[in-house]
A and B are shown apart, each in its own frame.
Chain A
């Protein structure tokens, strides 16, 4: 097909890869194929390890679910760094869980003492109010792992009274607009919310025909289907790596109802 500038490119089918057709046309899976597939699936399984201290009333057992009133989820390095800079500290928050996963793009570190550039997925809880949770997920969760992530994380929580806030970033080149993205002042924030979310949002809503993908989309879809109030703040940025300008673009969120009370106070000596 020809692009805007007239060059001819080989376009992969937008309908996706058809390799399933060849798989079902011919022979059924051999036992070896099945074994290989199972091993690969096992390797790509997600493990969620909760490290709550004993004696805490909200411990999860086979039939008890965590009570969670607020879940703030930062996906990607910049969103995670925003929470580290303005919300998280070692005094008010404790680590309560970690997600271990592997895919072609990353492997999570098993330590909880992480650097901003590491790939990790950690859960924290506010000590003064154990129903307020925070998650920094700077590792890439592949598309075949996103559903697992959802079920294993949300499967441990009571959905009643839960509100979810998601922070995420994506390239400004993905933003569809009448003008060229070259002239757009980036980074900028756009929001999407579920039907049940009734509070004010801190920035304009994301207009059609723009869409959101990956883990932020998976979480928001889950909340929309199961009627959980949730809002996603997507930061469109032209910087791929960890960057302070992008981190600061999330600052309007500090005046939101959820984050206002959680902003850490800096003591200047």
Chain B
């Protein structure tokens, strides 16, 4: 459930009517979550509440977006909500994996919050196992999108203009029967479940995902967040004739030491 930071009831900071909800799926390489970190850090978004749930593994730490001594001591938990009213943007960041058997309850709680808070649409950032691509998917862009029918009506044309590639359906019974096609997002965590539930509930949802593998996923996060920016225009690119905004995303201070500590000097 959503719990606002200030418990004074529904204050101005937690009114999300008409906002775009941006959130990650906990998926291969944690690319969605890394991309969300970049968005929150670059846009200097304000924390407005917590998503208190029993579906995620508990964790706490100090402010992951700290820029100075003064703002480094605020406690952060595993699921928090940030907002930027000037861009009508609300962001949910998820920082830990799901507890077994809790995928479905989480999706239900999340979608009912989307409906009750009257968000206009949801954008889900995700990823999928690169090794599961077929021959055609190995060529060209590793980025894909999906739109629920309700959002397709609103922005479908824009995706054509941007020259984006829709996520392909795969054969339900490969090798046996190639006519029946289903959506398959291996490594995508709750992506497919959230998407199909949104389709049936009439929620406007877009999924933006990247094919990737586990490893150093920082470049994948940049690729995904630039892909998102092509559509939502969250930040402007430095020069007019380039859409590459890589250099303008601010890496949060919590990305330090992602691959371990320093080496013991006695080793050498």
Contact indicator A144/B99 (Cβ below 8 Å): yes
B85 lies within 8 A of chain A by Cβ: no
* Interface-facing stretch out of B157-165, B184-192, B236-244: B184-192
Contact indicator B75/A192 (Cβ below 8 Å): yes
Q: A177's contact among B62, B99, B215, B261, by CB below 8 Å, is which?
A: B261
Query: Once bound together, how far apart are the Cα atoms of A77 and B192, in whole Å?
Result: 42
B58 lies within 8 A of chain A by Cβ: yes
Contact indicator B193/A208 (Cβ below 8 Å): no
Contact indicator B61/A208 (Cβ below 8 Å): yes
Contact indicator B192/A21 (Cβ below 8 Å): yes
Q: Which residue of A lies closest to B5 (CB)?
A: A195
Total number of A-B contacts with CB less than 8 angstroms?
Answer: 148
* Interface-facing stretch out of A52-60, A110-118, A124-132, A217-225: A217-225
Interchain nearest-CB distance for A214 vs B (Å):
7
Query: Once bound together, how far apart are the Cα atoms of A83 and B57, in whole Å?
Result: 28
A267 lies within 8 A of chain B by Cβ: no
Q: B60's contact among A146, A207, A220, by CB below 8 Å, is which?
A: A220
**CB within 8 Å of A: which B40-88 residues:** 50, 52, 54, 57-64, 66, 72-75, 77-78
- Contact residues in A for B258 (Cβ distance below 8 Å): 209
- Contact residues in B for A17 (Cβ distance below 8 Å): 100
Contact indicator A212/B60 (Cβ below 8 Å): yes
A1 lies within 8 A of chain B by Cβ: yes
A-side interface size class:
35 or more
Scoring B residues 236 to 268 as 1 if CB is less than 8 Å from chain A, else 0, what string do you get?
Answer: 000000000000000001111111111111100
- Contact residues in B for A221 (Cβ distance below 8 Å): 52, 58-60, 77-78
Known contacts A16-B189, A180-B261, A180-B264; is-contact A195 B74 (Cβ 8 Å): yes
Contact indicator B189/A183 (Cβ below 8 Å): no
Scoring A residues 120 to 143 as 1 if CB is less than 8 Å from chain B, else 0, what string do you get?
Answer: 000000000000000000000001
Q: How many residues of B contact A (CB 8 A)?
A: 56
Interchain nearest-CB distance for A1 vs B (Å):
5
- Contact residues in A for B36 (Cβ distance below 8 Å): none
Contact indicator B100/A144 (Cβ below 8 Å): yes
- Contact residues in B for A165 (Cβ distance below 8 Å): none
A18 lies within 8 A of chain B by Cβ: yes
A11 lies within 8 A of chain B by Cβ: yes
A260 lies within 8 A of chain B by Cβ: no
Interchain nearest-CB distance for A141 vs B (Å):
10
Query: Once bound together, how far apart are the Cα atoms of A181 and B260, in whole Å?
Result: 10
Q: Which residue of B lies closest to A173 (CB)?
A: B261
Contact indicator A205/B187 (Cβ below 8 Å): no
The residues of B with any CB-CB pair to A shorter than 8 Å are: 3, 7, 26-30, 50, 52, 54, 57-64, 66, 72-75, 77-78, 97-101, 103-104, 127, 186-190, 192-193, 214-215, 253-266
18 A–B contacts, CB within 8 A, in A order? A18-B186, A18-B189, A21-B186, A21-B192, A180-B262, A180-B263, A208-B61, A208-B64, A209-B256, A210-B61, A212-B60, A213-B59, A215-B58, A220-B60, A221-B52, A221-B77, A224-B50, A225-B3
14 extra interface residue pairs, beta carbon distance < 8 Å, beyond A20-B104, A213-B58: A15-B27, A15-B30, A15-B189, A20-B101, A177-B261, A181-B261, A192-B60, A195-B74, A208-B253, A214-B58, A217-B78, A218-B58, A225-B50, A225-B52
